[in-house]
A and B are shown apart, each in its own frame.
Chain A
Amino acid sequence: MSHPDYRACGLPVRPEVEALHAKLLGRLTRAGTWWTGVERRAIAAAARAARDCELCRERKAALSPAAVQGRHDGPDELPAEVVDVIHRVVTDPGRLSKSWYEGVLEGGGLDDAHYVELIGVTVTLNALDVFARAVGVDSPRLPEAARGEPSRERPASARVLGAWVPQIPSRDEGGDDAGDEWRSLYGDMPFVPQIGRALSLVPAEVENLKDISEPHYMALENVADPRYQTPGRALDRLQMELVASRVSSLNDCFY
């Protein structure tokens, strides 16, 4: 199935979540900003294959991932250096480093914009698969790739501001030329957490993240309010933060 069907899980399905997952699957195989639909589908397929990759398993167990060389398991529709990025992000994200990122760009297989979009596709597919196993259903089938060309629109104001990748600056950070691009993504939000800005070199991936955030956790603008409780949820805020902290810890993530 390419439309997720969670009825088999035996849990009360929240229709807005199921509908969003169908939308996310469709986006994974349509042309994005820098990659075609065929390429995005191939990225998603590689991300799915990473979970069972023997090389990734060996690297994860090694003192340093660079100590183990070899070929990743899974489809080979993409260049090896691109597949390596995808698999590293899925299976060993806690050991990504700035020097590794710089090496990826210097290797010539990806530029910063392709990299950012690739991250968006990779993490979305991985998250859908994690959810499927959490509720006890099969991973949804990827739709066939749709035809179409990437838009190839790079935000003019994007620059390196503290993250490894360039970001759209806030009005305070970017001067007069930054306002419109910031406003189109964030409106008048008084505070945007770094996670909401991380992918802003590819604004469509920020929109994707915003879409994911609200029905699974909360809208980005509410994250900064520790008293905020998402209406209609069976978990309170502290329970949600406990789960969030545990996931981050198990991913060796600082955020």
Chain B
Amino acid sequence: MAGAEAETGVTHGAALLAYTDAVMADDASAIARTRDALAAAVGPDGVWDTACVILMFNVVDRVADATGIPIDEGITRDMRYEIGKELGMGHLTPEERASR
């Protein structure tokens, strides 16, 4: 593995993150460019499925933020919060959020 793949340890991680970043930034030209690159990496089905996950977590995040649910111990923490932290993604800790 090289580059971002080595950093994330995820196959085609760099292309997945570039497309995700472009969509979240609402940058039309970057979306088109990174979508093509992602399609070359994971195939058109993979692009569709990536867009689906992006949709899902735009729902999850806003529901969580707007309702103040506590973070689940165990799987959610391990698979998102801890993995995100390891990847340097800077998730807010529940403690940081509670102090607001």
Binding site for B on A (CB under 8 A): 10-14, 17, 51, 89-90, 93-99, 101, 116, 119-120, 122-124, 126-128, 130-131, 133-136, 162-165, 193-195, 197-199, 209, 212-213, 215-217, 223-226, 233-236, 238-255
Among B19, B44, B87, which residue has its beta carbon within 8 angstroms of that of A245? Answer: B87
Per the CB 8 Å criterion, the residue count for chain B at the interface is: 69
In the complex where A194-B69, A246-B89 touch, is A209 in contact with B63 (Cβ < 8 A)? yes
Most buried by B among A119, A133, A249: A249
Query: Does A93 contact B20, Cβ atoms closer than 8 Å?
Result: no
**Residues of chain A within 8 A of B62, CB atoms compared:** 89-90, 93, 119, 122-123, 126, 251, 253
Interface residues of A, dominant DSSP: helix
Does B53 lie within 8 Å of A93, measured CB to CB?
Answer: no
Chain A residue numbers with a CB within 8 Å of B75 are 193, 223-226
Q: Which of B31, B54, B80 contacts A241 (CB 8 A)?
A: B80
Contact among A12, A99, A130, A240 for B23, CB-based, below 8 A: A130
Residues of A within 8 A of B13 (CB): 239, 242
- When distances are taken between beta carbons in the complex, the residues of chain A under 8 Å from B37 are none
B58/A130 in contact, CB under 8 A: yes
Using A17-B52, A119-B67, A235-B46 as known contacts, say yes or no to A241 and B57 having CB atoms under 8 A apart.
no
Q: Nearest A residue to B15 by beta-carbon distance?
A: A239
The interface residues of chain A lying within 8 Å CB-to-CB of B70 are 162-163, 194
**Interface of B: prevailing SS:** helix
Cβ–Cβ contact A126 & B58, under 8 A: yes
Complex CA gap A241/B72 in Å reads: 16
Residues of A within 8 A of B96 (CB): 254
Which positions 11-42 of chain B face chain A at CB distance < 8 Å? 11-13, 16-17, 19-21, 23-24, 26, 28, 31-32, 35, 39, 42
CB distance from B54 to the nearest CB of A (A): 6
B87 touches A255 (CB 8 A): no
Q: Which residues in A have their C-beta under 8 angstroms from that of B67? A: 116, 119, 163-165, 198-199
- A253 in contact with B54 (CB, 8 Å): no
Contact B52–A131 (Cβ < 8 Å): yes
Within the complex, the shortest CB–CB distance from A240 to chain B, in Å, comes to 5
Asked if B59 contacts A163 (CB within 8 A), the reply is no
Nearest CB of B to A65, in Å: 12
**A163 — which chain B residues lie within 8 A by C-beta?**
67-70
Residue in B32, B61, B97 whose beta carbon sits within 8 Å of that of A136 in the complex: B32
Q: Which residues of B contact A216 (CB under 8 A)?
A: 52-53, 55-56
> CB distance B52 to A217 under 8 Å?
yes
Q: A194-B69, A194-B71 are in contact. Are A127 and B83 (CB under 8 A)?
A: no
In angstroms, how far is the closest chain A Cβ from the Cβ of B25?
Answer: 8
Residues of B within 8 A of A234 (CB): 42-43, 45-46, 48-49
Q: Closest Cβ of chain B: how far from A90's Cβ, in Å? A: 8
29 contacts between A and B (CB under 8 A): A17-B52, A89-B66, A101-B66, A120-B63, A122-B62, A134-B54, A135-B35, A162-B69, A163-B69, A193-B75, A194-B70, A194-B76, A198-B64, A212-B59, A217-B57, A235-B46, A238-B9, A239-B13, A241-B80, A242-B83, A244-B80, A245-B80, A245-B83, A245-B84, A248-B60, A249-B90, A250-B20, A250-B24, A254-B96
